[in-house]
Chain A
Amino acid sequence: MLEIVGVEDVAALFADVPSALRERAGLDLAPGLSEIEVRRQLETLASRNTAATQHCFMGAGAYPHFIPAVVDQILQRAEFYSAYTPYQPEVSQGTLQAIFEFQTLVAMLLGMEVANASMYDGASATAEAVLMALRMRNKRPRVLLSRGLHPQYRETIRTYATGAGSFELVEIPFDSSGRTDLAWLKNHLDDQVAAVVLGYPNFFGVIEDLGAAAELAHANDSVVISATTEAAALGLLKPPGQQGVDIAVAEGQSLGIPMSYGGPGVGLFATRNELVRMMPGRLVGEAYDGAGRRGYVLTLATREQHIRREKATSNICTNQGLMALALTVHVSLLGKNGIRRLAVANTTAAHDVAHRLAGKGWIAPFSAPFFNEVVLRRDDAAAKWQAARAKGILAGIALERWYPDLRDCLLLCVTEVHSAAAIDALTEELA
């Protein structure tokens, strides 16, 4: 090969690189390892994550759920995972058809007309939704964020918004039910408010009255955005689209993706047909070839960065392809009845735990209905959490780090993965 290239050695290929750079470029890294050594090292590191083998009753944006074996079998198909963004549709129909199915499932789950091919995660999807709303209402400089929206989602919106234009983010308080304070909202809606963002269910697991919030916001011509961190809830709860939401986003990790220390997950993004050209992200659409055979292609790319450059709706290039596939496979397995039954199993288990702990001195500070996460308070919550930890139970998350006003409160999450024995152990340790 060197001979054909016409150089004496490999170093000659780098003649265009200034020697001042080449001389200092050596890598002070350990020599390479064999596969068995790599595995040993990583197995050792994995084993030091002792929390991974404990009973996890934590949610707050990442949820422990069962994943049927078929899902990972498909994900390990190298034809899927080693492909790139489907630029050549004739040899990418597998990826494209799966994304088309994903878009359909996501639109149905959220009760919206149209969904994109996915975003990085729920938090960045929410931030992109806010930017889209600001494009839709470009004369209005204010966005109202519910304090019940996931704290990390609010932080992400803040980062995305900084420098992207001159507008302000204002937080809406929650009331004693744990829901967004709609009376406050009503008083703060004016012709400056571009959008209102609520969690659904919110960070406390509480099921917001999206319909009422949307009615108020729409009377003011503001855009309504809902963000769902626990997508399993959508199998049972009235979807955002049926409650007047304009842009519905979600984190899809719950439906087929391991927690994996918080990533990768998959961001879901859906809206109404009339807004599709303002939407960020990739889209797959149906197409036909010369022989009339049906296929799928990336479409409406004129919104995107590689065509529009600085005028694009977003800088996003890819989607979260393989994770979108995981969700598609899992939801296909669940189907019409299974998705509902999964949600029922979750809310049943969470209510059971809440009920049992209520009999043991734990107080629910919020009165509104919840899905599979619940806030419970007791003066010795921190001590109880530590005692449970010592028994191999991660008994939820203390809320004080995000909400100083919610002292001694734990946010507990119960799902279908928790066996009756694990739930017994949890309620005993917290007694």
Chain B
Amino acid sequence: MSDPTQKQAGLLLDEPLIFERSRPGRAGVSYPNSDKDPELILPAELLREPIAGFPEVSEPEVLRHFLRLSQWNYGTATTFYPLGSCTMKYNPVVNEVVARLDGFAGLHPLSPDDGAQGALEVILAVERILAEITGMDAVSLQPAAGAQGELTGMKMIRAYHVDRGDARRKVLIPASAHGTNPASAALCGYGTVQIEGNRIGLIEVDAVRRAMNREVAALMITNPNTLGLFEREIMQVAAVVHEQGGLVYLDGANLNALMGVAKPAHMGADVMQINLHKTFSTPHGGGGPGSGPVAVDALLEPYLPTPRVRRDANGLHWSSDFPKSIGRVRSFFGNFGMHVRALAYMLALGGDGLTQATQMAVLSANYIRRRLEGAYHLAFPATCMHECVFSDKGFEANGIKTLDIAKRLLDFGFYAPTIYFPLVVPGALMIEPTETESKETLDQFIAAMLEIAREAREEPDTLHQAPTHTPVGRLDEARAARRPVLRWQPVSPT
């Protein structure tokens, strides 16, 4: 335990592990009819002893423990969160209310379809709106997160080629792609071929043409790419891939830049995942639950995961009668609670509102780009879409690195941008403001960034020591990885 005297003032309270709050005999909840001797019901050799080290804490102490932990977090509800590629927009509170309605939260997934018509309508409505936004022909909401959506999409691509007796072995992936792209491709048994961007960070049709052949199952491409730039040759690139019998996987992580502006289907995408927790305002939850629906064109529709929602004379029902389907990628129907939240958001914004969200997100990113480009090195000087990428280039003289800039931002009350990604920009600082921040907030952030740039030149130690206004300072991650302590241990196991 850290020294308790260090943090006992005001709001700087220390908070031990829940296990360290434990005192024998305390409990935070009780149940009726729970005091039977289990050995009267089940054979003793099947039973365990009471779990050594499990916490024994009263209800008020449990509440206080987790409330204090919550106060050690930055979230979009407390702080501007310019985390590039993560689309940290405001999570409307009404979404939380509707997802908790008994009719949704209390519904068992194996309920008879005629007793779950409202849930089936929710799923169908979200599928339809996503199809309209992406221009795709069909959607499945089953994947639990963006990465699982990617995996699902790549499984479908594989099934498509195998079905045609043309199993292929490689996938083309731009150097700027998210790490999940090559990982998802590898999970489907594909080797990956990296495509380099040109000097302004874009994929050129000639580069794809050189790499493309009949061994290549697909191109996985992110548009706008992770530099925040729109891939201007996307339609020609897709045509080159299609000419050789390949398919185009579009990583939909950056869909927030496209709503009402360009539809992935028209770009030539055959399949994409959509991150409801990015574009459609469902909360990130400190790292999940997400939701990663997959949208496809008619070519790939037969391979969508099952079950799928269908309508007949009796209403909506689940059907698994799709013989070419890749099957299921998880239990039940996906993260339904996230589908409800996303639908609430889609209904609240409507077509015009979603289009405006994209416009304002792009305007905000360009505003930040212009205001900071004199003070920070802009990786690729061009009009950006929803995010812009700077780097630490130019601060070398004082030994200032991207990490120092990021940590200093925490002291100013802002979360840090995505750092050291994309890998094609050394020392990258990737800023995505989203549409839900006011100009005043953007200006405060810009002022902090400009002040940090000044500090980097004039008082670099301030940056090296940052953050100082946080519950802990920089933590020694190298040591944590060398000798990992991944759990608390009871002092004397009983």
Contacts and interface: CB of A to CB of B under 8 A. Distances in A.
Q: Interface size bucket, A side?
A: 35 or more
A66 B106 CA distance: 11
11 contacts: A25-B263, A49-B115, A72-B100, A93-B72, A105-B54, A258-B100, A289-B476, A294-B2, A310-B192, A335-B55, A347-B42
Interface in B92-112: 93-94, 96-112
A26 B34 CA distance: 59
Residue among B22, B179, B346 with most chain A CB within 10 A: B179
Interface string B68-83: 0111111111110101
Interface stretch (B117-125, B207-215, B390-398, B454-462): B117-125
Interface stretch (A139-147, A183-191, A299-307): A299-307
A32 B285 contact: no
Contacts, number: 680
B374 interface: no
Given A18-B232, A288-B475, A321-B285, A259 B73 contact: no
Interface in B469-490: 470-477, 479-481, 484-488
A311 B186 contact: yes
Nearest to A50: B115
B41 A394 contact: no
B112 A295 contact: no
Contacts of A52: 102-108, 111, 115-116
B263 A335 contact: no
A194 interface: no
Interface string A284-301: 111111111111110111
B74 A91 contact: yes
Interface stretch (B241-249, B294-302, B325-333): B325-333
B425 interface: no
A89 B472 contact: yes
B321 interface: no
A225 interface: no
B29 A79 contact: no
A20 to B, nearest CB: 7
Given A10-B363, A156-B331, A394-B111, 16 more contacts: A42-B347, A46-B102, A79-B78, A82-B284, A92-B73, A261-B336, A263-B144, A263-B337, A264-B337, A283-B486, A284-B486, A295-B472, A305-B147, A309-B192, A332-B65, A335-B22
B487 A290 contact: no
A345 B286 contact: no
B148 to A, nearest CB: 6
A92 B470 CA distance: 10
Given A27-B133, A300-B481, A318 B54 contact: no
A16 B383 contact: yes
Is the interface on chain B under 10, 10 to 19, 20 to 34, or 35 or more residues? 35 or more
Given A163-B158, A165-B189, A295-B475, A85 B286 contact: yes
A332 B42 CA distance: 26
B282 to A, nearest CB: 10
Contacts of B180: 305-306, 315, 317
A340 to B, nearest CB: 6
Given A207-B46, A260-B104, A77 B67 contact: yes
A238 B31 CA distance: 22
A1 B367 contact: yes
5 smallest A-B Cβ distances: which pairs? A262-B332, A46-B103, A51-B115, A262-B109, A322-B285
A164 B180 CA distance: 16
Contacts of A285: 480-481, 484-486
A86 B56 contact: no
A345 B32 contact: yes
Contact of A90 (B27, B234, B359, B474): B474
Contacts of B350: 29-33
Contact of B261 (A25, A207, A292): A25
Interface string A327-346: 01101111111111111110
A86 B155 CA distance: 30
B136 interface: no
A400 interface: no
Nearest to B290: A318
B155 A163 contact: yes
A100 B185 CA distance: 31
Interface in B359-396: 359, 362-364, 366-367, 369-371, 382-383
